[in-house]
Amino acid sequence: MSAGATGATAAYVAIMEAKKAIGPIIHIENEDFLKLVNRGEEPLVVFNHGGVFRKVYSYLFSMKGFVFVTRSQKKLPLPGKAQVIKAQKLDLPNL
């Protein structure tokens, strides 16, 4: 097996391990994300913002074993009942 194939195989295995550890990651629209957060009793939302040329907010929320992710150019209006954690960095695998 060539070095390139070995590297690709290792990357694939790492992605599959991340999937197992995190569970399904579902990318959804901002409106759908807010609907789900509003349905939670004590929702915990993790977010951060970054970007070089324009600010992008990334949000993560877990419900019933699924991890929901959305991105927005504006800060989302999270409900007051939400517990919000600002992360310095979010490392989400590209799945």
10: three-class secondary structure by DSSP: helix
What distance in Å separates the CA atoms of residue 43 and residue 33, rounded to the nearest whole number?
A: 12
Neighbouring residues of 12: CB distance < 8 A, sequence distance ≥ 6: none
Q: Indicate if the pLDDT at residue 2 is higher than 70.
A: no
pLDDT class for 4, splitting at 50, 70, 90? low
First to last CA, the chain: 25
Domain 24-86, CATH 3.30.720.90 — does that match? yes
pLDDT of 83 strictly over 80:
yes
Residue 12 has what pLDDT? 62
* Structure-block tokens of residue 83: 């517990």
pLDDT digits (tens, 9 = 90+) for 26-81: 999 999 999 999 999 899 999 999 878 888 999 999 998 889 999 999 999 999 99
Q: What residue type is assigned to position 35 of the chain?
A: K
Task: For the chain, give every domain's residue range.
Answer: 24-86
